[in-house]
Amino acid sequence: MDSIVPEVKSRLNIVDVVGSYLRLTKSGTHWKACCPFHNEKSPSFMVNEERQMFHCFGCGKGGDMFSFVQEIEGIDFREALKLLADRAGVEVPEHRRTGILTQDGVERPDRGREILELTTKFFEKQLREGEGSKTALPYLRKRGISDESLATFRVGYSLPGWRHLNDFLVSRGYDPDELEEVGLVIAKDGRAGYYDRFRDRITFPITDIVGRIIGYSARVAPGSDESQAKYINTPETPLYHKSRAIYGIFQAKQAIKEVGETILVEGQMDVIACHQAGIRNTVAASGTALTGEHLDILKRYGNGIRLFFDMDGAGQEAAWKGTLLALGKEMSVSIVVLTEGKDAADAALENPEALRVAIRNAVPAPEFFLNRFADRYDISLPEGKKMVASDFAPLLSAMNSDIDRNYWRQQLSSRLRVEERALIGVLRRSDEDRARDFGRTRVEAKEDVRAVGASFSRRSDTVRDSIIGLLLSEANLLKDIRLPEAVREYLSLDPIYTAIVAKGGVSVTDSFSDEAMKRRAAGLLFEADKFVSEEKGYDFELRERRKGVFAELVSQLVSELRKEQLTTLAADIEEAKRNGDKKKEQELLGRLSGMTSKRG
C-alpha cells in the first residue's frame, strides 16, 4: 500500500484530476475555479501544479489529489486510491474489507454497509430464484425492463412475511439493533422484537456516487395489497439522507460529465427505462422533492439540468420549484415536454427516438412557464398582464445572473406588449418565497390582482390621465392646442374625455351617474391641480402656464404611443418567428423599418 500512493501520484497530475471535475483556468503559476465545496461567485479555489496541492481561500479545504477525490466523491481513502489507481493504470492488491480505511491506515468497522450489501444480494436472489420470480419478475419484464437493466440497477424483491429478512441477517451474525439503524427493520411497541420494513415489494437499491448501497425505495408488488403506500423508502439513517440521495447517480455520473447536463425524472422505473434507451445521464431524487443539496451534487458533473416530470398538477409544481432552485444555483434549466403526455418510462420503452428528440428540444424553463402563465390569463387585458407578471416574478427573483434576469425581463415585456419600466412595480412585489401554487383557482388568482395594485399601468395611460385632469380644470385648452390624430383617437377611448368634448368641461364631474366614474374624474382633477402646481414651479392660476404643461403632456403622449406601437410590433415579429410564419415576419419587419425611419 505504501508504494502504491507515490506511484499513482507520479503518473497523474492534480491539474488533470481536478480538471475532470471543474473547469480550471490559468492564473499566473496557479489554476483557479469556483470552489465545489461551498457556494461562491468569484473563484477562490486554487490548484498549485508544482506542489501538486489544492486550497480554497474561501472555505479552507485543501490537500493533495487523494484528499480532493475523497471530498468531492464522498468516499474514504481506500476508495479514492482505487479510483485514482485505475485511472493511472496501477494495480491495487485485493483486500478483504472489514471496515473503512482512513488515510492514516486505520481501519474502523463499517458493518452498516456490509448489511446493506448482503441485503441487496438477498433481495436480488428472491427476485430471480425465489417467490419474486412468480409475480414481480414477470411484471418488470412486461414493463419492458431487460434482465441486463435489472442486474445493472440491482433490482430485487422482498418476501411478504414479517421476519424473513430479519431472521436471515441475524443468522449471519448481525444484531437487530444494527438492522434498525440502517432502516431495514422496525421495532415493535415496547421493543418486544422487530419486523421487516420492506414486505412483498419490488426493491430498488439507492447508492452513493461510488456505488455503495445506502438505502432502498420499494414499490408494492403486483397483486399485493394496493391500499398501502405504492412506494416506501428507507428513513433517515447514518448512511441515507434523502436530501442528498440521488437514484441512478452511480450509473449516470460519467454520462452527465460527458454531456454536461442531467435529465431529472420522477421515479426509479423512469431512470431504468431511460438508461435502457441509451439516455444514460438520467437520475431521480429519492424519497423527497428535489433539494439544493441534490443540485450541488449534480452540478459537480454538469451545469445543465432538464426536468422531465409528469404534465399533471403535481408534476408541474415540482418542475416549478425545481426551476427556482436550479436558477438560484445558476444552472441552465429546461423542461422536457412530451405531446402524448406519457411518463418517461413509457416513452423510453415505446419510442426511444421520440424521447431523445423531446429531450433535445427541451424548452428553457423561463420560456416554458412564461408560455404557461400567458395561456392561463387573458393578456389582452391589464388584469391578465398583471397576473402573468406577478406569477413570473419569482423566476426573475431566483436568477443570480444579471444577464439572465435582464434577458427574461425583456422577454416578459415583449410577450405582454408593455414597456419594461411598467413591470417594475409588479416585479418588486415578489421574491423567492412567493412561489405560486399551481392548484389555485381563478377566483384566488383574481383576488391576488388587488395586491398588485395600480403600478402595472402603461406610461401612456398615466400621461392620458394627466391630460384629462387638465381638461377637467380647463376644457378650453382644446381650442388653444390642436391634438394630433393619434392622440385624439387614443383619448376618445376614455368616456371622461368624450364627456369633456361634449359638454365643454362644465360640471363634467357631476354629470356621471356611475359613482366609480365620478370618483375617477374627481381624482384626476385633484391630481392635475397637484401636478401643475408642482411642475417646474408653475402657478396653477396662470392660464399660459397651464397651456405649456398641456402642450408638453401631448408631446409626451405622442412619444409614448409611438414607443408602444414599436413594442407591439416587435412582439408580433417574435410571435411570427415562433410560429414559423416567414411571410408575416417579413411584412412586419418592413413596417418596423418604416416606423424607425420616421421621427416625430
Q: Mean pLDDT over residues 309-315, rounded?
A: 82
SS3 assignment for 425-452: HHHCCCCHHHCCCCCCCHHHHHHHHHHH
Share of the chain above pLDDT 70, in %: 85
**Long-range contacts (CB closer than 8 Å, 24 or more residues apart) made by 84-93:** 84/8, 84/12, 84/17, 85/4, 85/8, 87/12, 87/17, 88/7, 88/8, 88/11, 88/12, 89/11, 90/4, 90/7, 90/8, 90/11, 92/4, 93/1
| Model pLDDT, residue 132 | 92
111-233 fold = DNA primase DNAg catalytic core, N-terminal domain (3.90.980)
Share of the chain above pLDDT 90, in %: 38
Is residue 24 predicted with pLDDT exceeding 80?
Answer: yes
| Model pLDDT, residue 507 | 57
- Residues 6 or more apart in contact with residue 165 via CB below 8 angstroms: 119, 122, 158, 159, 179, 184, 185, 196, 198
236: how many CB neighbours lie within 10 A of its CB? Answer: 13
| Model pLDDT, residue 441 | 39
Report residue 570's pLDDT band, with 50, 70 and 90 as the boundaries. confident
Q: Is it true that domain 4-104 has CATH number 2.30.29.30?
A: no
Report residue 540's pLDDT band, with 50, 70 and 90 as the boundaries. very low
Give the CATH number of domain 246-351.
Answer: 3.40.1360.10
Judged by average pLDDT, the poorest of 169-183, 253-267, 537-551 is 537-551
546-555 residue pLDDT tens: 788 888 888 8
182-196 residue pLDDT tens: 999 999 887 678 999
53-102 residue pLDDT tens: 999 998 989 999 999 998 887 777 888 898 899 888 888 775 544 444 44
| Model pLDDT, residue 465 | 87
- Residues 6 or more apart in contact with residue 519 via CB below 8 angstroms: none
Residue scoring higher pLDDT (461 or 278)? 278
Report residue 169's pLDDT band, with 50, 70 and 90 as the boundaries. very high
401-442 residue pLDDT tens: 888 888 999 899 889 888 777 777 666 655 433 434 444 433
How does the average pLDDT of the chain come out, rounded? 83
| Highest mean pLDDT of the ranges 149-163, 342-356, 451-465 | 149-163
Sketch the domain layout of the chain as residue ranges: 4-104, 111-233, 246-351, 367-455, 459-590
Q: Mean pLDDT over residues 261-265, rounded?
A: 95
| Model pLDDT, residue 447 | 39
Please list the alpha-helical segments (H only) found in 474-542: 477-480, 485-491, 495-503, 515-534
